[in-house]
Chains A and B, each alone.
Chain A
Amino acid sequence: MAQTSASTASTSSAGSTGDFTPFNQRHLLSIADLKQHEIIDLLDRAERMVPVSRQERKSHPTLSGKTQINLFFEPSTRTQGSFEIAGKRLGALVMNMSVKTSSVSKGETLVDTAATLNAMRPDVIVVRHSAAGAVELLSQKVGCAVINAGDGAHEHPTQALLDALTIRRHKGRISGLTVAICGDIANSRVVRSNLLLLGALNVRTRVIAPRNLLPAGIEHLATEVFTDMREGLKDVDVVMMLRLQHERANGRMIPSVREYYRFYGLDAEKLAFARPDAIVMHPGPMNRGVEIDPAIADGPASVITDQVEMGVAVRMAVLDALLPARNEP
């Protein structure tokens, strides 16, 4: 089984980014926008950021004097917190804005808020929104870098990057592995970003879900599609579980939690179909007893807390890459 702590920490100096070529993107809106070398570049940058957070003085102030706004139209504890810590460890001034919106005025608030925030001259805005494409729309209305922290069921690029970093540190490589993603594929932005990123790195991807939770055309995005979890998990290196929204298991999409757990919950018996050294991942927040057995979530194969740690490193790397010192006179 997997080691519980990451073991392949970089040997180079903490946070040093001097030897990276400039990152040629203005925003990070989607994995689809990134070329393979840019993905690897971001992972390498993140690798250098890992030691920063393990130091006693968790400070690497390359963003000193810059302003970062976390604009969250959807509540999020861990993603917002992760971006906040990442920004602060890089020395940026971080402001959190949680915008409560009625469904009627949502979009109006979005464009208006963009104009308002833009006038405050931030250097980067981190945005989460419930509508696919909303972050890109906002990026067109502001003059600073924009990072997508999740837009509807579209993308969540930093999640895919932190997942890849976690895999790479545990497996020593990414290319050639087989990764299964299981659960609410239809409504997950994490799936789309992960399939794009893993596909770009030559990973065999599998999605596993009941037919009701598989979106049209998914067979073109994943290498293989399974509706039987045992078949789908056979010999995989990585198992990624997805959160099932409770409200979907009310008889309208899925009959019940207990039926879902019986056929699609990850327990020891199903996990036994995967490779013996398979790791178990979850983007959080977890529903123990819905999509995952607590014993697995907290067991030796789980790397879920590592994902959270890598999340900070990835977000530091992305902020650092998007806000280089080259803009300074």
Chain B
Amino acid sequence: MTRPVLIENARIVDPASGTDQPGAVLIENGLIADVALGAPIGVPDGAEVINARGLILAPGLIDMRVFTGEPGKEYRETLQSAGEAAAAGGITSFVMMPDTAPVVDDGALVDFLIRRAKATSKVNVLPAGAITKGLNGQEMTEFGLLQEAGAVCLTDGRHSIQSTALLRTVMSYAANYGMTIMHHVSDASLTGDGVMNEGLFATILGLKGIPREAETIPLARDLQLAALTGVKYHAAQISCAASIELVATAKKRNASVTAGVSINNLALNENDIGRYRTFFKLSTPLRSEDDRQAVIEGLRNGTIDTIHSDHDPQDTEVKRQPFAEASDGAIGLETLLAAALRLVHSGDVDLLTVLRAMTSRPAEILGLPSGRIASGAPADLILFDLDYPWQVSENEIRSRSRNTSFEGARLAGKVMRTIVGGQTVHTHQEER
């Protein structure tokens, strides 16, 4: 029997119920036992009381796209270090991409990861199963066995399946088990040697461009196949105005289509690359400001369902390279919330919409009981100060890799306490 926890005087923001008002939450046995809006809750015997005055109490964030280095590249990130970073960033669950060594394409590995994460990670690690063996884009994995082992969805991570016939097959088979296919759309031949968004800026830098059509063409194909097969389809991360239009149109006819966006494509654009800054070299490249604005509008009007960090730890060796030769990817667990809150502070998107995309929508898509503040739900909660100013500093990063595209950025909004399963796993030092 763990000690009950009462969080009182909080501003409760729960997107699932549309709540934004003062209240208190009682946690017992790792679950939310009671939610009192307006009225106080009596303090149970022996309860720990947390006075949350001035703070927002929200569901812990659920990050749909996180790469780790474990197993295989532990020097980049372990489940333990990713868990530390996630807890500090207010992320209480993350979907782990199967792009590891070995690839998570086997039920036994899913089982191992879940056990390993329970032993070492402060937050919930939700393994995604690979769609194809070794991410080879050719032979499908055992979807049923992966699901039985605990895989929350199917994805080939940063890889994109090129064969239309194979995609039809895997979508049809995933529909059989009610599993969500989360696909990164990228046409390999159109992408070619491209390393950033195609356009004037790439031309000036002398870098090969990636046309938007390398995203929109496979996306249009996927959306048609999703309708054909009836699969639950999640476009892993889209980046341009034309993709938003495609998804919006598909959603009118097909309720099983959802779409995600990386915080990078919401917060940054191609100009941030400046003079070959490789921390801004991302797969799903940063696009133009017009595209960024279109993605923000997509978030506002519900075309975009989820925001994720696209946390992708890379070491100095592979990043301190000429731009074209550097690896893709940036870390993002610790900055996801504050970077997303930029949209709130700028007045672009309201707080409930931004939080919904990182709490209740991912939970609905993945079929999780968390992501909401309701009696009986897991007590995965965060307390954050909406306006707390801070500056991202490489030295304070908890991730084992330092490749943040927000280095030096001034952000507002800081997680003061992160609770996973009723246990406090992180407190901001000044609150101690």
Contacts and interface: CB of A to CB of B under 8 A. Distances in A.
Contacts of A136: 275-276
Nearest to A196: B204
A216 B322 contact: no
Nearest to A154: B206
Given A132-B206, A137-B276, A217 B323 contact: no
Contacts of A153: 206-208
A192 interface: yes
A137 B200 contact: no
Interface in A192-241: 192, 215-218, 220-221
B323 to A, nearest CB: 5
A133 interface: yes
Interface in B313-368: 317, 320-326
Given A32-B204, A107-B322, A131-B323, 8 more contacts: A110-B321, A110-B322, A132-B324, A133-B275, A137-B321, A152-B206, A152-B207, A221-B204
A94 interface: no
B204 A192 contact: yes
A107 B281 CA distance: 15
A131 B322 CA distance: 6
Nearest to B208: A153
A106 interface: yes
Contacts of A217: 199-204
B77 interface: no
Contacts of B205: 132-133, 154
Interface in A90-139: 106-108, 110-111, 129, 131-134, 136-137
B90 interface: no
B322 A132 contact: yes
A151 interface: yes
Interface in B392-406: none
Nearest to B326: A107
B209 interface: yes
Contact of B199 (A133, A151, A216): A216
A243 interface: no
Contacts of A221: 200, 203-204
A155 interface: yes
A32 B276 CA distance: 14
Interface string A156-199: 00000000000000000000000000000000010010000000
A216 B275 CA distance: 18
Interface string B22-46: 0000000000000000000000000
B198 interface: yes
A216 B276 contact: no
Interface of B: 198-209, 275-276, 317, 320-326
A110 B322 CA distance: 9
Nearest to B203: A215
Contacts of B204: 32, 192, 217, 221
Nearest to B209: A216
Given A111-B320, A133-B276, A136-B276, A216 B325 contact: no
B317 A108 contact: yes
A132 B275 CA distance: 10
Interface of A: 32, 106-108, 110-111, 129, 131-134, 136-137, 151-155, 189, 192, 215-218, 220-221
Contacts of A154: 205-207
A111 B316 CA distance: 11
A114 to B, nearest CB: 10
A131 B200 contact: no
22 contacts: A106-B325, A107-B321, A107-B325, A107-B326, A108-B321, A131-B324, A132-B323, A133-B207, A133-B323, A136-B275, A137-B276, A151-B206, A152-B206, A152-B207, A153-B206, A192-B206, A215-B202, A216-B202, A217-B200, A217-B203, A217-B204, A221-B203
A106 B202 CA distance: 22
Nearest to A132: B206
Given A107-B325, A111-B320, A189 B206 contact: yes
A221 B205 CA distance: 12
B115 to A, nearest CB: 36
Given A107-B326, A133-B322, A216 B198 contact: yes
Of B202, B203, B323, B326, the most chain A CB neighbours within 10 A belong to B203
B416 to A, nearest CB: 38
A155 B206 contact: yes
Contacts of B202: 215-217
A108 B320 CA distance: 8
Contact of B325 (A131, A155, A192, A220): A131
Given A106-B325, A152-B206, A192-B204, A132 B199 contact: no
Nearest to A33: B275
Nearest to B318: A107
Contacts of B321: 107-108, 110-111, 137
Contacts of B200: 216-217, 220-221
A129 B322 contact: yes
A267 B363 CA distance: 67
A107 B317 CA distance: 9
B154 to A, nearest CB: 31
Greatest chain A CB density within 10 A among B199, B204, B322, B324 is at B322
B248 to A, nearest CB: 26
Contacts of B322: 106-107, 110, 129, 131-134, 137, 151-152
A33 B326 CA distance: 24
A152 B324 contact: yes
Nearest to A110: B322
A131 B278 CA distance: 13
A101 to B, nearest CB: 10
A312 to B, nearest CB: 25
Contacts of A218: 203
Contacts of B326: 107
B325 to A, nearest CB: 4
Nearest to B273: A133
Nearest to B319: A107
A111 B321 CA distance: 8
Nearest to A186: B203
Contacts of B199: 216-217
Contacts of A137: 276, 320-322
Instruction: Kindly list the 10 A-B residue pairs having the minimum CB-CB distance in the complex, ordered from nearest.
Output: A217-B200, A154-B206, A107-B321, A133-B276, A131-B322, A153-B206, A132-B206, A134-B322, A215-B203, A107-B325
B347 to A, nearest CB: 31
A192 B208 CA distance: 14
Contacts of B320: 107, 111, 137
Contacts of A32: 204
Contacts of B209: 215-216
B203 A216 contact: yes
A218 B203 CA distance: 7
A300 B325 CA distance: 44
